[in-house]
Homo-oligomer: A and B are copies of this chain.
Amino acid sequence: MEKVVLIKSLYRNSEEHLSKKVKISGWIRTLRASNAFGFIEINDGSFFKNVQVVFDNKLENFKEISKLPINSSLKVIGTLVATPDSKQQFEIQATEVIVEGMSQSDYPLQKKRHSFEYLRTIAHLRPRTNAFSAVFRVRSVAAYAIHKFFQEKGFVYTHTPILTGSDCEGAGEMFKVTTLDLDKTPKTEQGAIDYSKDFFGKESNLTVSGQLNAECFALAFRNVYTFGPTFRAENSNTARHAAEFWMVEPEIAFADLEDNMELSEEMLKYVISYVMAECPEEMDFFNQFVDKGILDRLNHVVSSDFAKVTYTEAVEILKATDKKFDYKVEWGIDLQTEHERYLTEEHFKKPLFVTDYPKDIKAFYMRVNEDGKTVAAMDLLVPGIGEIIGGSQREERLDVLTKRLADLNLNEEDYWWYLELRKYGETKHAGFGLGFERLIMYITGMSNIRDVIPFPRTTGQSDF
């Protein structure tokens, strides 16, 4: 018996298969039949589009086939025939249809439009719909594009730890990890919980960022990146926050903020271009049904030279406009989404780096500028979404970093290894973080983070 051909191959190499016998396997997306013949749209998971199968009552199991519930799985043998006059470029005229697995008539995904909210309740089935088939294939291809981009530049992919001792990061919104029996936690003589009895012998949390660990590797391998899950126990029920999400964090040595901006611009353009080239059917779907105009917007990003402005200049621009903001602009504030979107969408009309933010609103590890008031930070803002990347040059001067820790009441001993990176052969270095889900929302036009994660975890929600 001939080998099964993937539907992707029928579309991408149709010349090779036309007028020949082919064998496919897949699931019924739609089926309609009269007494004499019928049509089945089959999807085999390899491709966004279905292929149409025509069958007639010469098949001995014609009656059985005609009544199959949606999403039953089939093997079909037949001839691939060009159909230049119809909507499809070709169809399969079946000579044999074998039922592999019957579906049941209460299958929840009958041919009608379902709301994304409803589909979240059947996350185990929703990748079978057009929208989620497109989203999750794009997610996969974008993830690969990120690896390809960095690997071809010789960056070392570094698996930074997920489980971390609680010493080094602000513990406010972290998940605790434990193997203690919560019904009878061991206690110290002072009555506190005795974490020396816990799995790691101390309090442990889920990571919020791999950056500090990645810096260790950048100072050995020069150019590294992480790509893995990170966690926030933020009790916020918004369309943009999830408790578990994936981050990409490159870290580059012998590099300053300019190099960092150049790298992030190049990466973003590469990933978007790669997805548009590899997933044209999916991108057309988003452009038609999810977010009209998204293709124009992405093409614009890819062909723009990103603008650059300092925070101080950006504040002047925002103060000078007649536009009313909910949140008043003064030097020293953290820019809000309304400000970011005005800058990138209305003022600059293209992607925009805002640099050199006030020291007091940024993290301890960002390099202090000559003015003593600002740090070498950068945020990349894009039309339609606002901030998509945040990064900085890192403080490499041991004395300045030590003073920053003290000013922020952070305990120097907790950072002994991070400080040692500055003692032993420090160089300028920089890095940034890209929230992978935000990128996927940006590329697909999907507006809720729950709809770009296979099985999303948010406040009160960890089903499947």
Contacts and interface: CB of A to CB of B under 8 A. Distances in A.
Contact of A101 (B136, B155, B427): B427
Nearest to A221: B45
A182 interface: yes
A243 B199 contact: yes
A460 interface: yes
B462 A213 contact: no
Contact of A158 (B101, B104, B140, B199): B140
Interface residues of A, number: 106
Oligomer: number of copies: 2
A462 B165 contact: yes
A231 B179 CA distance: 12
A114 interface: no
A11 interface: no
A157 interface: yes
Contacts of A26: 222
A396 B154 contact: no
Contacts of A231: 162-163
Contacts of A254: 4, 25, 44, 73, 75, 100
A400 interface: no
Interface stretch (A83-91, A124-132, A285-293, A329-337): A124-132
Given A175-B179, A199-B175, A421 B124 contact: yes
Given A177-B177, A424-B71, A462 B202 contact: yes
Contacts of A206: 177
Contacts of A355: none
Contact of A220 (B102, B133, B161, B426): B133
B139 A8 contact: no
Contacts of A179: 175-176, 233
A459 interface: yes
Contacts of A449: none
B140 A157 contact: yes
B136 A221 contact: yes
Interface in A4-18: 4, 6, 8
Contacts of A107: 423-425
Interface string A328-352: 0000000000000000000000000
A127 B103 CA distance: 53
Could you say which of A46, A204, A221, A426 has the most chain B C-beta atoms within 10 Å of its C-beta?
A: A221
A6 B46 contact: no
Nearest to A215: B124
A182 B183 contact: no
A199 B243 CA distance: 9
A96 interface: no
B25 A427 contact: yes
Interface in A154-200: 154-165, 175-180, 182-183, 185, 192-193, 199-200
Given A45-B223, A136-B221, A464-B417, A427 B175 contact: no
Given A144-B157, A423-B103, A128 B220 contact: yes
17 contacts: A45-B222, A45-B253, A101-B427, A122-B417, A123-B417, A124-B420, A125-B424, A127-B216, A128-B219, A136-B158, A137-B156, A140-B151, A163-B457, A202-B462, A213-B464, A228-B228, A417-B464
Interface of A: 4, 6, 8, 25-28, 44-46, 71-73, 75, 100-104, 107, 122-125, 127-128, 132-133, 136-137, 139-141, 143-144, 147, 151, 154-165, 175-180, 182-183, 185, 192-193, 199-202, 204, 206, 213, 216-223, 228-229, 231, 233, 235, 243-244, 246, 253-254, 396, 417-418, 420-421, 423-428, 453-455, 457, 459-464
